[in-house]
Every structure is written in C-alpha cells, then in structure tokens.
Chains A and B, each alone.
Chain A
C-alpha cells in the first residue's frame, strides 16, 4: 500500500508545485494521476520513487517511511519498482538490449535468464527485432517502448509510468496499456501519470484529478 500524507513541494518561492496532497493507493490498484500540463503529475511520481524529496509531508510504502530510507539503502525500494520516465532516460551509447537488461544485471541474474527476460519484454512492446540497435537510431516512440520494456523486465511490484504513451499512436498506446494491465493482474500496483482521456476512461480503476498541484477530484470505478 502506498500512502501519501500532506505532501507539499516547492521548487521556487512562492509557487507550490504540490500543495497538501494526501492519497492512498492499495496494493493491486491500477490508477491514473491526471491533469493538465504543469498540474504536478510528474513531481508527484518523482516524489513516490524518491528521486526528489517533498518540502513537507510523509510517504509510506508498505508501512516503510520512504523519506527515512538512507541513501545507501534506497536501491532496495527502487528494485521493487519499474519506472517509465517521461524523458525515457536511456543510455544512448549502449544497445537496446543493454538498456533493458540493466535492472536484471544489477541483481546478478544469470546471462541466459537475462537474455530470455529481455527478449520477452522487448517482444511485449514489439521491439524485439531492434534488440541490438542503439537508442539514438530509434524513433521517439520506439525509445519510449525501450523505456517501458526496461520498466517491466524485472516484474516489479510497483510500476510507475509518467506519460508512457505520450509519443505512441493510439493502437500501440492501447497495446502498452494492455501490458500494464496484465502486469497489474499478476499483482503489481500500477500508477500512471497521463492526460490521455481515452485511455483513462478505458483502463482507469482509480483516478486522481490534479490541478495546480492540488487534488481536485478522485474517482474509483468498481
């Protein structure tokens, strides 16, 4: 379970990127955080995986206070997560394979298992035929799919995705969402920051509406 209590974030005075957000996401939820550009979706996701600290507030993941985890132990939290970054964060001088394999190499899986899992992940995002290409030779949409493959390759307990379908055509976006749904059905909690109304309408189970850093509404579908 992910619990956020009175989260405030200020990058620059006097503007608040996030103002007093409290929310609860249960294990196994498939939820969307939505809102216009600049509403604070990305900031909220970055706070959850502790890339940045909130100015005020507390976050608990499975009862553990995320903000109290020392820097040298934060890897334990991150290994539970798969993250699709808005800017993809790919290593451009390494192959697609190497980019997707990195979460598995970090935990020291055997080479054979790594190859199998990377291939499967790339096949899920329909990019297995470009396994040995370099990301800078791929289109924007393909780079996004590499980022998605990396996020799902280690079967995460929590999947965080920031605009994961922003550069994909509707058909592929739908496919990617189906993959996320599949991972969700296997027990993972999925949190997606998106403003794609069609996808949210179709897949959203729990939806948080953000505006100017505040939650202005919440919807839970049965």
Chain B
C-alpha cells in the first residue's frame, strides 16, 4: 500500500511540475540565479587561491655566502637550510651562474661586467618554501637562524610582499564567507517564497485533500519532491551557466580588464564545490517547501 501511495505521490509531483511548468520554470531561473552568484564568487575565490599558491611557490629566500668558502662549509650550510621543516628545496647558485643570470636579465650592462677583473657576485643558496600557510614569524626565525651560520653574509627575502599577500588572502576568505553566508540566506528566502507562491496557488487543492481524509504526509510529499526537483534543477542550471561564463569570460571581457584580467578571472569549480552547490540547491528547495506547506495544513 505504501508503495502504491508513493507511486501516486511521485506521479502527482511530476504532474504538478508539468502542469505549472511556466511558474516552475521561473522558480528554476530564480534559484539558478541565486546559486550562480554563489558559483561566480566561488570561481573568483578559486582563482585568487590559485594565484596565491602560484606566488608562494615563487617565493624564494636567497642566502649569500662568502666567496671562496671551502666546499665542506658550503655543504654544512646547505644541510642546515635543508634541515628546516619550512624548506621545500634548495638550489646552489655559483658565482658563474649568478653572473650569467645578471647578464641575461640586464643585457645592456653586460659589457660593464665583462670589463671587471673579477666576478663580483657572491655564491648563494636559493631556498623555496613549502607552502604559503607558514606564518611570517616562523620564516623570520628561520632566516635569523641561517644568518647566524658562519659563511653567510647576507639574506634577501621580500618579507613585506609575503605578508601583504597573506593578509590579502585572509581578507578574500573573510569576504568570501560573509558574502557566501548572505547569498545563501538570500537564496533560501527567495526559494522559500517561490515555493510558497506555488503552495498558495494550490491552497484549494491542499484543503480538498485534507477534507477528504489525506494525512499531512500525503499532502506534503509531492510539494517536497517538487521543491527538491526545483532546487536541484536550479543548481544544475547555475553550474551550466557558470561553465559557459568561464568559457566565454576570457573571450569577451577578459581582454578589456587588462592587467586585472588575471586577478578577476574565473577558475572552474572543483567537483566538491559542485557537489555542495547541488546539495545546497536541493536542500534549500526542500526546506523552502517544508516551511511553506506547513502553514496550509491546519484545515
């Protein structure tokens, strides 16, 4: 009997979705717009996170060494640097290589260097850090430790840049959570109101069902199924539009942004983000229905 009733309820939900297709289509569009806004924000945030990671990967600390340092001491310094848990890898830059790099980077000064009697560039170690989540304090402590090693004469590290990036990343995250929360709340109210309109339009039907002996569950289920389907469809449409936006964005808008293009580019959502967007849409649709139908069950 339960299966028969379930079959009937699902059929009724399908029937209602089709019968009120105009209104339901508008609902889906509103839901998809809400989730599209969230999706666009997520895509932007993904891009910023990606850029941050790229930048931090490029962050290197250069430790300049005394010239003509015995190989054993050079090895010891390298070992000390490598021993730190913060360091991902270390490259030794010899005097010759430093000179070559200079010549390559500043070709117009090439001749001046060539006329010098000796190579003025000291050898150095370039240490790359593991990831950007390392606190600036830990990096400073690490630099001070290496600086105290005999044979190390100077350190070059753009700490200020790193700290700025860290705080930018924190701001982006905070703004992200704030905007995300507001948008999700707004979406919930929009969906809930759209479903309420649907329920209100069928107030009569609910009353009739109550009066001929339907249980509350019997009345609720088709609306829940409809809310779920609308939410699901809305979030799927939003993902589809977002996908198109990501494809189209660089072609039409990207170039107009000039230097900001890289910063404002959209990066595709991860599978996990898409999953949660779909879950969020379906859940919001279903919850919107629950709150809306309950008001009409007191007949």
Contacts and interface: CB of A to CB of B under 8 A. Distances in A.
Nearest to A110: B4
Interface in A71-118: 71-72, 74-76, 78-79, 81, 83, 85, 89-91, 93-94, 102-103, 105-111
A208 interface: no
Contact of A108 (B1, B15, B209): B1
Interface stretch (B200-208, B262-270, B271-279): B200-208
B177 interface: no
Interface in A36-79: 49, 51, 71-72, 74-76, 78-79
Interface string B8-32: 1000000100010000000000000
Contact of A49 (B204, B207, B208, B211): B211
Nearest to B209: A102
B22 to A, nearest CB: 12
Given A51-B299, A89-B204, A106 B209 contact: yes
Nearest to B4: A108
A150 interface: yes
B298 interface: yes
Nearest to A88: B208
Interface residues of A, number: 27
A79 B212 CA distance: 6
B212 to A, nearest CB: 5
Nearest to A81: B213
Interface in A7-53: 49, 51
B207 A89 contact: yes
Among A74, A90, A108, find the residue whose CB has the most chain B CB atoms closer than 10 A: A108
A121 to B, nearest CB: 13
Nearest to B297: A71
Contact of B215 (A49, A75, A150): A75
B205 A78 contact: no
B5 interface: yes
Contact of B212 (A76, A102, A109, A110): A102
Contacts of B209: 102, 106
B4 A83 contact: no
Interface string A103-146: 10111111100000000000000000000000000000000000
Contacts of A102: 208-209, 212, 214
Interface in B29-54: none
Contacts of A109: 4
Given A51-B299, A89-B208, A91-B208, A108 B213 contact: no
Interface residues of B, number: 23
Interface string B271-299: 00000000000000000000000000111
B112 interface: no
Contacts of A150: 212
Contacts of B297: 71
B243 interface: no
Contacts of B8: 105, 108
A76 B2 CA distance: 17
Among A78, A85, A105, A111, find the residue whose CB has the most chain B CB atoms closer than 10 A: A105
B218 A106 contact: yes
Contacts of A51: 211, 299
A72 B216 contact: yes
Given A51-B299, A93-B19, A106 B213 contact: yes
A162 to B, nearest CB: 12
A93 B210 CA distance: 18
A83 B216 contact: no
Contact of A91 (B2, B204, B216, B299): B204
Nearest to B8: A105
B25 to A, nearest CB: 17
Interface of A: 49, 51, 71-72, 74-76, 78-79, 81, 83, 85, 89-91, 93-94, 102-103, 105-111, 150
Interface of B: 1-2, 4-5, 8, 15, 19, 204-205, 207-216, 218, 297-299
6 contacts: A71-B298, A75-B215, A76-B213, A89-B207, A91-B208, A106-B209
Given A71-B298, A74-B210, A91-B204, 20 more contacts: A49-B211, A75-B214, A78-B211, A78-B213, A81-B213, A83-B211, A83-B212, A85-B211, A90-B208, A94-B15, A102-B209, A102-B212, A103-B213, A106-B209, A106-B212, A106-B213, A107-B1, A107-B213, A108-B8, A109-B4
